[in-house]
């Protein structure tokens, strides 16, 4: 495990993310119809990629499944300076669908000023910590955690790629009422997927029938995505870019609310809750931890 993190403005980045590229991102020329799915890692990015792609193709599953999900909705900032995807973005047809883990303060300036559209997804920090912990074992550009105890410390302190969860989520939460931002929560998607999918379609201004919504809900289910080779980027096959080691874990792990209970001790849980109560309390942002 010889992974060295990169640094960008005081924040750790996985070793495949290049700090110099991050500066170019701020000047990215945004189009009105660009769609950015933005998250702190492990908060439902792939789920939204699927929902947005299916909506884009009007619920036509066979059309949607002609390409892999990460080709339909590429990772915006990954190796952006030299990646073919990033270089081709200026000529890519509209609407450009992109996924990203950028903090608000590192996002393209035009996006933060209201151009293009942002679907931000947040998930309760306990389940994110658990999901991110397991993810570190399977991603070759992230350090293997030495223990769960240490990982929780690092998570709270923001000593991980993409920095602190609370900085990321709260920055975007502060801008949730920007007309070009839709702020969603993973737990709401679990509770009433249909309602959240309708919100997404309306926000994007894409007119869809109730039948299309039905199809989108059906084909974005955890089990469907886990067994679909166009959405399951890890299991049972080699992965592009080589950053996933599928012998070390699975991307479609559990997909539930409340798995934190199998990892947090009572003491950890109380300490963690107290920390986030202080951070989130004054902001009005709340999460469902129970599922």
Point out which span in 16-24, 108-116, 159-167, 251-259 binds ligand A3P (CB under 6 A): 251-259
Q: Is 42 in the site for ligand A3P (CB under 6 A)?
A: yes
Tell me whether residue 129 or residue 156 sits nearer to ligand A3P (CB atom).
129
Contacting residue, 46, 181, 182, 204, with ligand A3P by CB under 6 A: 46
DSSP state letters, the chain: -----EEETTEEE-TTS-HHHHHHHHT----TT-EEEEESTTSSHHHHHHHHHHHHTTT-HHHHTTS-HHHHS-BSSTTTTT-HHHHHGGGSPSSPEEEE---GGGS-HHHHTT-SEEEEEE--HHHHHHHHHHHHHHBTTSPPPS-HHHHHHHHHHT-STT--HHHHHHHHHHTTTSTTEEEEEHHHHHH-HHHHHHHHHHHHT----HHHHHHHHHHTSHHHHHH-TTT--STTS--GGG-B-TTS--SS----S-GGGGT--HHHHHHHHHHHHHHHGGGT-------
Q: Can you tell me which of 57, 203, 252, 289 binds ligand A3P, judged by CB under 6 A?
A: 252
Of 81 and 241, CB closest to ligand A3P: 241
Q: Which of 13, 15, 17, 43 binds ligand A3P (CB under 6 A)?
A: 43
Looking at the Cβ atoms of 12 and 101, the one nearer to ligand A3P is 101
Binding-site size, ligand A3P (CB under 6 A): 20
Least Cα distance to 257 among 46, 43, 99 occurs for 43
Catalytic positions, written as ranges: 101
For the CB of residue 252, give the shortest distance to ligand A3P in the complex, in Å. 5
Q: Which of residues 258-277 bind ligand A3P (CB under 6 A)?
A: 259
From the list 119, 109, 101, the residue with the least C-alpha distance to 205 is 119
CA dihedral sign, ordered 170, 175, 181, 184:
positive
Q: What is the maximal distance between C-alpha atoms in the chain?
A: 53
Site string for ligand A3P, 10-39 (x = CB under 6 A): -----------------------------x
Out of 255, 279, 288, 289, the residue judged to bind ligand A3P by CB under 6 A:
255
For ligand A3P, what does the binding mask look like between residues 141 and 180, x meaning CB under 6 A?
----------------------------------------
Binding span for ligand A3P by CB under 6 A among 7-15, 89-97, 177-185, 252-260: 252-260
- Using CB under 6 A, which of 53, 78, 124, 131 touches ligand A3P? 131
Nearest approach in angstroms of CB 69 to ligand A3P is: 10
Q: What residues line the site for ligand A3P (CB under 6 A)?
A: 39, 41-47, 127, 131, 134, 220-222, 225, 252-255, 259
């Amino acid at each position: 495990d010889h992974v060295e993190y990169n640094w960008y403005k005081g924040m750790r980045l996985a070793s495949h993310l290049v700090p110099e590229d991050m500066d170019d991102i701020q000047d990215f020329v945004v189009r009105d119809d660009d769609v950015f799915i933005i998250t702190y890692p492990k908060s439902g990015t792939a789920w939204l990629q699927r929902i947005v792609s299916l909506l884009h193709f009007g619920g036509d599953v066979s059309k949607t499944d002609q390409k892999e999900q990460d080709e339909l909705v590429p990772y915006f900032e990954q190796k952006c300076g030299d990646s073919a995807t990033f270089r081709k973005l200026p000529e890519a047809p509209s609407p450009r669908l992109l996924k990203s883990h950028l903090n608000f303060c590192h996002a393209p300036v035009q996006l933060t000023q209201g151009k293009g559209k942002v679907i931000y997804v947040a998930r309760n920090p306990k389940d994110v910590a658990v999901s991110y912990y397991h993810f570190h074992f399977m991603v070759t550009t992230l350090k293997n955690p030495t223990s769960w105890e240490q990982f929780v410390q690092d998570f709270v302190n923001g000593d991980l790629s993409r920095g602190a969860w609370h900085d990321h989520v709260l920055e975007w939460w502060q801008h949730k009422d920007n007309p070009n931002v839709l702020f969603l929560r993973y737990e709401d998607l679990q509770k009433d997927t249909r309602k959240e999918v309708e919100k997404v379609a309306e926000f994007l201004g894409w007119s869809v029938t109730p039948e299309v919504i039905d199809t989108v809900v059906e084909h974005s289910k955890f089990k469907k995505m886990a067994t679909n080779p166009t959405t399951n980027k890890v299991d049972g096959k080699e992965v592009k870019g080589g950053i996933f080691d599928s012998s070390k874990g699975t991307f479609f792990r559990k997909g539930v609310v409340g798995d934190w209970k199998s990892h947090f001790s009572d003491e950890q849980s109380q300490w963690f809750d107290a920390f986030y109560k202080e951070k989130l309390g004054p902001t009005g942002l709340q999460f469902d931890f129970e599922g």
